Amino acid sequence: MAAKPRGLIVTADDFGLHSRVNLAVEHAHRHGVLTTASLMIGAPAARDAVARARALPGLRVGLHLVLADGDAVAPRADISALLDGHGRFGDNMVRDGVRFFFLPHVRQQLAREIRAQFEAFARTGLTLDHVNTHKHFHLHPTVLGLILEIGREYGMRAMRLPFEVSAPLWLRPWISQVRAKLDRAGVVHNDYVVGIADSGRMDEAVWLAALASLPDGVGEIYCHPAFAGDRALSRGMLEYRHADELQALLSPRVAAAIRGVGVRVGGFGDVLGV
């Protein structure tokens, strides 16, 4: 059997979270290997991110849906069952996942928020290259089902499949179900990702090791670059080495390694032909 053609999508997540992230995304796209960014449309620096993206026509931008540990887009009164006492999504994803599955009124509010984020992205005028979720929440069947249903109305054609080749065996049947649902919906996706096991630590050495052993198929290497600052970008990123991740995207050795493997590079639309 012939080997599948290889392609590579290089993505920065959390575009819009902070001006330090936005500056890093712009710098890594202009001067490094970054091809793609996933936009948190309700985040504090989203407006700045959109302005930068409009000035970077080669940067492919997708929607990074936030349904945990972040800011909502829909009016608080419309989605109160989803929010904590501070008006934000909490980070207890197990509890929230149970509520999404079993409580119809929570599911209805979840659908409102997902639609609000798609609608907010549509208002930017940016082309929707792909969709993914903060902390891979679309592995939840209710979340994935709503995204597939609502995203169709907004021209969604590609999603991230958060499957890393080192994933534990128990997770693989679940990933297979997600892959099958995407295929049935006609939504294209990558074959694998790099970035889960080393989240927040995607430095040059990790990149070079990954590029030396890329599997067949279309891969997405995603990371969280940012310029250094005096505090963590969030509580969940206290140990993240954002500046090292930015330097990896700017590394001549990483750029040379990508050229050396001869893969097609770009956004989801470029690499997957949608």
Predicted local distance difference test score (pLDDT) of residue 235: 87
**Does some domain include residue 111?**
yes
Q: How many domains does the chain have?
A: 1
Q: What residues of the chain score a pLDDT lower than 50?
A: 1-2
CA torsion through residues 39, 253, 241, 95, sign: positive
**CATH assignment at residue 27:** 3.20.20.370
**Does some domain include residue 181?**
yes
**Does some domain include residue 149?**
yes
Predicted local distance difference test score (pLDDT) of residue 86: 86
Q: Report pTM.
A: 0.96
User: Residues 220-238: pLDDT tens digits?
Assistant: 999 999 999 999 999 899 9
Predicted local distance difference test score (pLDDT) of residue 1: 40
Instruction: Encode 193-209: b = buried (16+ Cβ within 10 Å), e = exposed.
Output: bbbeebbbbbbbebbee
**Does some domain include residue 2?**
no
Torsion, CA 50, CA 266, CA 58, CA 26, rounded to 10: 50
Q: Which domain holds residue 28?
A: 7-272
Predicted local distance difference test score (pLDDT) of residue 251: 98
User: Residues 111-137: pLDDT tens digits?
Assistant: 999 999 999 999 999 999 999 999 999
Q: Which of 65, 77, 70, 123 is nearest to 236 (CA)?
A: 70
**Does some domain include residue 32?**
yes
**Does some domain include residue 117?**
yes
**Does some domain include residue 262?**
yes
What is the CA 36 to chain-centroid distance, rounded?
10
**Does some domain include residue 1?**
no
User: Which residue type does 234 have?
Assistant: S
